[in-house]
Amino acid sequence: MKRLFADLSIACGIYLSWFILVYYGNDIPLILLFLAGGYVTCLHGSLQHIAVHGYPTQSRWLNTLIVYPPLAFYFPYVVYRTSHLEHHRVDTLTDVETDPESVYVSKSHWDQLSSISKAVYRVNFTLAGRLLIGPFISLYLLWKDQARRIISGDLQCALTWVIHISACVAIALFVSMVAQLPIWKYLLCFAYPGISMTLLRSYTEHRWSDREGERSIIVEGSPISRLLYLNNNYHWVHHEDPGLPWQDVSKEFNKRRTEILQTNGDFYYKGYFQMFARFFKDRLIDPIHPMQAN
């Protein structure tokens, strides 16, 4: 009951904070609105993530209702839920054929890309690129895939997007007509930084390794980032037990710290600031999946 109350309190806090930031957005300095709006929008995405795994309630439809509003205008929650559950079911994380959340591309796909597309991919595989152009690229790839499904006659997919677009329009009308916040400012200070902050977490949370246990990262982070990602930064622990309540994930890591870091090949960062040391530098991973690179 305490956990349910805590989770529902976070949900209420997210929507209340979002409402205040949007309603008074014209009176808030732009940089502050950018940081706070992005944080709240990203935190809402983390709330959607725990809903995929059965929280905050035991009711799937109620969880969907709680987290459904597309604050980032990104994708329908049900599309994310389907994709993410499939990601957890695959036997080989990062495999480009079976893992829907693999960041790699196949060798055959890479060879078909133009030189410009390859250059864009390479930029996107730097942290700077992932944060700055990553939202555009991820949206393009998602919408391209979903459009292909709709064109092929997937009526369920089409209905999902009709509902999603309707929800986005409702949010946009509230933002622009009720709160009188320009849509460009909402996109700049809520949607875009919210997606970027999410991509910071996912930038290197998986890598290829011959050993299954070495494919998921541990990032301890600060209390601010741990709340932002609802402990999904302890990604190895989450993959070992996806149903573990998010409040217990950090406790599990601290209890088994030495064992976990040995098992995951010390795939570990103390915090996200360590990643920024390589902000404009070399890629942490290459676009082509290592099993197909040669």
pLDDT of residue 58: 87
pLDDT of residue 134: 93
pLDDT of residue 71: 97
pLDDT of residue 283: 60
Give the pLDDT means over successive 10-residue stretches in the chain (294 positions): 83 98 97 98 97 92 96 94 94 89 89 91 88 92 93 95 97 97 98 96 90 93 96 97 95 97 94 77 71 70
Number of residues that this document lists for the chain: 294
Structure tokens at 162: 């009709």
Number of domains present in the structure of the chain: 1
* pTM, 2 dp: 0.94
- pLDDT tens string 41-61: 999 999 999 999 999 988 999
The domain in which residue 198 lies consists of 2-292
Q: Report whether 263 contacts 83 (CB < 8 A).
A: no
CA distance 79 to 161: 9
CA distance 24 to 89: 43
Amino acid 252 reads E
Whose CA is closest to 71, among 8, 133, 28, 21? 21
pLDDT of residue 51: 96
